[in-house]
Structure 1
Amino acid sequence: MNLTRLFCEVDDFCNAFIPEWEKTQLNDGCKKRRRTRSLSPSEIITLIVLYHSSGYRTFKWFYTRHQHLSQAFPKLVSYNRFIELLPDILIPLTFFMKSRCATGKGIAFIDSTPLRVCDNLRISRHQTFKEEAQRGKSSTGWFYGFKLHLLVDDCGQILSFRITRGNVDDRKPVPSMLKNFIGKVFGDRGYLSKKLAALLALDDVELITTLKKNMKPRVLAAFDKLLLRKRCIIETINDQLKNIFDLEHSRHRSLTNYMINVVASLVAYSYQDKLPSLNIARKDLTPLL
């Protein structure tokens, strides 16, 4: 990852977004001191995204032992102070990721992946997300935590994302995720629903899913059958997010920092030099779409 490019793009976004965002915040009428901090929001976001692309598995080790951080960021604060500053950048970081989302060109793949916050044997003793996390079931079994819903295109770019509790139906966030998309969306049997397909059809979105074993086969165009078999691209993306960009671990101590971890891993993924892709020539797709 190019650190200079990352910081410049984050800084340009923060300089435009944060002043407008602060105008919308409520004021309690009390005068407060606004001291200039050693680290700007742009630097905090850059550091947390840089961690997720660094290969480290513990942020404290990255922050305290990475040799080049002090050279790039001469005003680094202590580790404990940095953790205290993190909650302030949740909203700017989330909107920065939304600005990184692509628009889509007619083909998309949708799927959800479980975000476990603890092992199943420790559910009864887990306290950090006791009020937020829920039990859910995926294709690999039961889990306790949250779900990350992703919409990606055939070039591996993220088009939209949502974070929900673990017990939320995969089909619930689909209409909002596809709000600005037109074309064909491919998903697994978890998205099978005539009502949902009819609702999306009103917005020129065709939902194509695999069938359950007890259902009669249906007629599909050869092009749709081919792309339905290529849903593995989103599984590859989920695998990279968890194993390369540290999307999922059980060491969180607050909900805010947990959300920052999830969104920052998506930003780090979007800055990859080479994204998973189906290598489909766009000129060949125009008559089929």
Structure 2
Amino acid sequence: MTDYTIAIYCFMDDYLKISQPHIDIRRKVSDAEILTTALLSAQYFYGNQHTTCQYMQQHHGMAKIDKSNFNRHLHRLSNTLIRIFLALGESLKQLNTASRYLIDSFPVAVCKNIRIGRCKLLKHESYRGYNASKRQYFYGFKVQVVTTADGIPVDYLITAGSIHDNTALQAMSLYLPQGSELYADSAYTHYELEDLYEECDQVRLLVERKSNSKRQDNAAMRFLKKHYRKRIETCFSQVTARFPGKIHAVTPQGFLLKVVLFLFAFTFNKTLSTT
């Protein structure tokens, strides 16, 4: 855990020194310490940032900071956190010589269905979605994730729960290297989009075909699509295993920030373990 903490801090500190050279040295807690604490909370403390602050103060000499100040600083750095995640994703794309990618989504509920009427975090029917794999409805968000063939996330998009995967794919700005292959399940079926990606970006969108599809695959291609897509299901299981029973947040922005932290922490951990 100590090695992981040091690795995160060095990574964050180096990035911030390059992107933000003018830092107020009078501050007791640096931006790198704030981001390190946030990622540690997602990796080891089920998103409990107050407990993580106590750990950092006791074991790594971070100055004492109260909960409200920590949240205020973290929300101020939310855009920086997203930029770092996307920059890391671009680096992973360059290192992914196989050029195989996977895309799928997983739901994140803000409350149990029986409490939807009393939910104060969200107030709209657009957040009511359906999880086909578990055959149940949920109330919250849907996270679209693009991973490498090894299951390392490189890009994401968070939408309301009712947004279909096909619609979310069209809204994403996918910047994959030329010659890449993107494997997806049948929910992403869109023949025109497949042709557009291959013609304009030289990216093959390989979607699992339904039985009534107009473009059927041969047996070998069906096997390859099913084989490569198994990795992303494992990735989602590992990400959600870090979730607490209920993600505590006061605002939708705070809730989404914690979801991004869980995804970022998993990506960083996988990157360290494979290097």
Q: Check conservation: 1:134, 1:144, Cα contact below 8 A.
A: yes
> By how many angstroms is 1:211 displaced?
2.4
What amino acid does structure 2 have at the position aligned with 1:199? L
What is the TM-score normalised by the length of structure 2? Answer: 0.83
What is the TM-score normalised by the length of structure 1? Answer: 0.79
Counterpart among 236, 240, 246 of residue 242 in structure 1: 240
Rate the CA distance shift 1:162–1:41 in 2: closer, same or farther, 3 A.
same
Q: Which runs of 5+ in 1 are unaligned?
A: 23-33, 278-289
> By how many angstroms is 1:234 displaced?
0.6
Greater Cα shift, 211-220 or 234-243: 211-220
Q: Check conservation: 2:209, 2:217, Cα contact below 8 A.
A: no
- Rounded Cα–Cα distance in structure 2 between residues aligned with 1:204 and 1:248: 42
Q: Which runs of 5+ in 2 are unaligned?
A: none
Secondary structure in 1 aligned to 2:123? coil
- Corresponding residue number in structure 2 for 1:127: 120
- Rounded Cα–Cα distance in structure 2 between residues aligned with 1:274 and 1:17: 22
Q: Check conservation: 1:113, 1:148, Cα contact below 8 A.
A: yes
Matched, 1:79 2:79: no
Greater Cα shift, 264-273 or 148-157: 264-273
- Rounded Cα–Cα distance in structure 1 between residues aligned with 2:13 and 2:271: 24
Q: Check conservation: 1:132, 1:165, Cα contact below 8 A.
A: no
Rate the CA distance shift 1:276–1:109 in 2: closer, same or farther, 3 A.
farther
Alignment of 1:251-266 (within 5 A): 251-266=248-263
Counterpart among 31, 35, 38 of residue 41 in structure 1: 31
- Corresponding residue number in structure 2 for 1:163: 158
> By how many angstroms is 1:262 displaced?
1.6
Secondary structure in 1 aligned to 2:107? strand
- Rounded Cα–Cα distance in structure 1 between residues aligned with 2:25 and 2:118: 41
- Rounded Cα–Cα distance in structure 2 between residues aligned with 1:5 and 1:276: 12
> By how many angstroms is 1:205 displaced?
1.4
Greater Cα shift, 187-196 or 126-135: 126-135
Q: What is the root-mean-square deviation of aligned Cα atoms in Å?
A: 2.9
Alignment of 1:190-229 (within 5 A): 190-202=187-199, 203-215=201-213, 218-220=216-218, 222=220, 225-229=223-227
Per-residue CA deviation, residues 166-185 of structure 1 (Å, 9 max, x unaligned), is 12221234253423333211
- Rounded Cα–Cα distance in structure 2 between residues aligned with 1:136 and 1:44: 34
- Corresponding residue number in structure 2 for 1:13: 15
What amino acid does structure 2 have at the position aligned with 1:172? T
Rate the CA distance shift 1:84–1:194 in 2: closer, same or farther, 3 A.
same
> By how many angstroms is 1:248 displaced?
7.8
What amino acid does structure 1 have at the position aligned with 2:228? K
> By how many angstroms is 1:233 displaced?
0.7
Q: How many residues align?
A: 262
Rate the CA distance shift 1:83–1:57 in 2: closer, same or farther, 3 A.
closer
Secondary structure in 2 aligned to 1:268? helix
Secondary structure in 2 aligned to 1:230? helix
State which structure, 1 or 2, has the greater radius of gyration over its C-alpha atoms: 1
Per-residue CA deviation, residues 124-176 of structure 1 (Å, 9 max, x unaligned), is 21111226961111212211111111111112222211111112221234253
- Corresponding residue number in structure 2 for 1:269: 266
Identity %: 24
